Amino acid sequence: MKNRVRIENNKAFHDYHVIETIQAGIELLGSEVKSIRNGSVSLRDSYAKFENGELYLHGMHIARYHGSFGNTDPLRKRKLLLHRSQLQRWQRKVEEKGLTIVPLSLYTNDRGLVKLDIALVRGKKVFDKRRDIKEREVKRQIEKHKRYLGAK
């Protein structure tokens, strides 16, 4: 498939320490798939939560598709499709360790199916965020000096 879509959740990397990731399918309606292929989706402030042994994604905004009637709520909860053993293992980790599940990216694979990379995460403290920003700035400065010295 030519036109692949990839939407990233950059806020997740800023706000959380990623512990483990997994690829999940997502239960969608036809008009939602069309909107995703247009890139009309936002993963910001979305999270996954267990309900009756199933994992549901909350807060993902998929814009209404133009030209389609019967559009649903853009913020409705959507079921994530995982193997039973994966669901049980992650549910134990969330309950025992107080971790959270957030989406990292949404994309279409080779067959045109919409997939979601989700991660088991732990929230960062303010000082962790500051340290990450400082490290990023130092790396930028080093690269800048390398380019400057390499040009001479």
* Total-model pTM: 0.76
Q: Which residue has the tokens 């079921």?
A: 79
pLDDT in tens, 80-124: 999 999 999 999 999 888 789 999 999 988 888 899 999 999 887
pLDDT in tens, 41-88: 988 889 999 999 899 999 999 888 877 666 678 888 999 999 999 999
Domains and CATH numbers, the chain: 6-124 (2.40.280.10)
